[in-house]
Amino acid sequence: MFGKIKPYVPWLATSLLAMGFIFSNQSPQINTLRQNLTDLILIGAHPVNSILNAPRVWNENTRMREQLAVMSMKIARLGDSGTEALRLRRMMNFRERSSFKLITAEAIGMNPDPGIRSVLINAGSVDSVRVNDAVIVPTGVVGRIYRVGRRSSAVQLLLDPNLGVAGRIANSYDDGIIHSAGMRKLRLDGIPTSATIEVGDSVITSGLGGVFPQGLLIGYVNKISLNPNRWLLDIAVEPSADLGRLMELFIIQKADSAD
């Protein structure tokens, strides 16, 4: 081993003596040279230190990432708990304030019936649910019951192209029909150009047709344009209920089926 490094011994000895002289001399020129040499040593040592410390840094980063993941999950659970409690409290308050006799149900999945936008709920004939009962959430209309089983029912959503709902502009009392416009949007058809309507106006149920009671919120006008026939308006409506994320729902029990 010594034989391999023997040729470099004089060079190493000379280098060490020179560095000793440099670091012991206090002249201004030597101070500048010493500072530059120190910088070179630090720059050269940095990659070596990085390589030597890499396992320790990797372990520390891994531990910190694990701690961060645990903390994030705890925060998410706390946030979900708060959101869940708030949502349930709003549902309970809505039921207590409602002037309707309501049947509570939960959405349990999408209904497999082809060609119909609908969801299944866990309430049926044993709960006094009937065909054509209106289905709502605190923020607005969801749809109607179109099929009833003993302990489950199918709800036809407002987003189904086959469903038409008698709607009304709340401010102007102009009546039309709500239809699906695709992409979780609605449209209000049959409103004449003479109507006084503004973006942001509330659209409610008119009560015509007998399925939906009058005054239930459907959504808000978000776009108005002239229909190609020139005497009707094309009115885009944003649903007030989140029809793509349904959990608890309420079925409005008709007076003739209430106890």
Nearest to 246 by CA among 129, 157, 186, 152: 157
Span 139-175, pLDDT tens digits? 999 999 999 999 999 999 999 999 999 999 999 999 9
Helix pair 28-97, 9-24: axis angle to 10 deg: 80
Same domain, 130 and 76: no
pLDDT at 212 over 60: yes
pLDDT at 82 over 50: yes
Domain total in the chain: 2
- 110 and 93 share one domain: no
Q: What is the DSSP string of 208-228?
A: TTSSS-TT-EEEEEEEEEE-T
One domain for residues 118 and 74: no
101 touches 257 (CB < 8 A): no
Instruction: Examine the pLDDT at 42 and tell me if it is beyond 60.
Output: no
Q: Do 65 and 25 share a domain, yes or no?
A: yes
Question: Do 30 and 22 touch, CB atoms closer than 8 A?
Answer: yes
H or E, element range at 189: strand 185-189
Range of the domain at 57: 1-97
Does 87 lie in the same domain as 194?
Answer: no
Structure tokens at 177: 């029909």
> CATH code at 146?
2.40.10.340
Structural element, H or E, at residue 142 = strand 140-148
78 and 154: one domain? Answer: no
